[in-house]
């Protein structure tokens, strides 16, 4: 089975977010937009970071409204050469940042875990820097089900661009981490190696940006914001007493029911 077929259909079982604003709660409107008590402004770069890579993110219309743990608003405050495209698919009218591609521009890299995707680091090693000046990095932001639908709906447009499918290392056979296993996991991930949009951009820019430590600096800055966000969330969770949700225990409940049925047949 392909990795993208193994990914869950939705991620509505996420833990309630400490960052979700509520009526009457003080919010950092001039900076990160989060509740004041979990403000991340001290962890953001003093000014948006310039990159030779153009980052374009197609984000599902529901991604920000229904996901208070989205890293997209923070990423938008960290990168200068970033274009956010709301929608369910890419098209020439919705993405002027990609069309028409200037003759002097570099390749368009579509970052998404699929069987056709090459490992991004391996692709960079095999492609001389002179053949990939000023690349465009294209990402999808939404639940895994939404991302899969967005990818399918954008297929014709991606083909017209000659987009190169690339991916970060993902182990489809190993379950992903939660915030209890990793200081960089904002929410439970479906497979080992699946990361937030912000961390994906950080890891990709580390290998795409020119030598001289610039890529490492950008990665460190973005990852530092994610780490601070997870630390706030962990502090919030430590003070909660929450019963396990049925959806999160679906497999365990099925096994328990099967065991009870088997024991009843033996009696």
pLDDT at 91: 85
When pLDDT is averaged across residues 9-21 and rounded to a whole number, the result is 39
Whole-structure pTM value: 0.72
Q: What is the pLDDT of residue 133?
A: 86
pLDDT band at 227 (very low <50, low <70, confident <90, very high): confident
pLDDT tens, position by position, 22-46: 555 677 766 777 777 778 888 889 9
Q: What range defines the domain where residue 132 resides?
A: 3-8+17-266
pLDDT in tens, 113-131: 888 999 999 999 999 888 8
Q: How confident is the model at residue 67 (pLDDT cuts 50, 70, 90)?
A: low
Strand partners, 191: 175
The percentage of residues in the chain with a pLDDT greater than 70, rounded to a whole number, is 64
Q: Please check the confidence at residue 197 and state whether its pLDDT lies above 90.
A: no
Distance CA 78, CA 81 (A): 9
Q: How confident is the model at residue 49 (pLDDT cuts 50, 70, 90)?
A: very high
The number of folded domains in the chain is 1
């Amino acid at each position: 089975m392909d990795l993208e077929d193994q990914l869950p259909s939705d991620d509505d079982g996420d833990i309630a977010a400490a960052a979700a604003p509520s009526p009457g709660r003080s919010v950092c409107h001039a900076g990160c937009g989060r509740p004041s008590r979990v403000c991340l402004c001290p962890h953001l770069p003093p000014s948006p970071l310039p990159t030779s890579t153009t980052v374009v993110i197609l984000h599902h219309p529901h991604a920000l409204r229904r996901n208070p743990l989205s890293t997209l608003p923070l990423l938008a405050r960290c990168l200068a050469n970033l274009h956010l495209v709301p929608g369910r698919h890419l098209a020439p009218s919705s993405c002027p940042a990609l069309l028409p591609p200037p003759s002097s521009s570099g390749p368009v890299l579509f970052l998404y875990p699929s069987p056709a995707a090459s490992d991004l680091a391996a692709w960079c090693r095999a492609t001389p820097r002179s053949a990939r000046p000023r690349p465009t990095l294209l990402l999808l932001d939404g639940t895994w089900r939404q991302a899969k639908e967005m990818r399918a709906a954008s297929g014709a447009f991606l083909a017209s661009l000659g987009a190169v499918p690339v991916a970060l290392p993902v182990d489809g056979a190993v379950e992903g981490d939660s915030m209890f296993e990793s200081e960089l996991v904002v929410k439970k991930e479906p497979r080992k190696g699946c990361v937030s949009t912000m961390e994906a951009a950080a890891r990709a820019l580390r290998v795409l940006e020119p030598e001289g430590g610039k890529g490492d600096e950008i990665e460190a800055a973005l990852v530092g914001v994610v780490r601070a966000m997870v630390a706030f969330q962990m502090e919030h969770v430590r003070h909660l007493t929450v019963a396990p949700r049925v959806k999160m225990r679906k497999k365990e409940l099925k096994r328990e029911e099967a065991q009870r049925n088997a024991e009843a047949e033996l009696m």
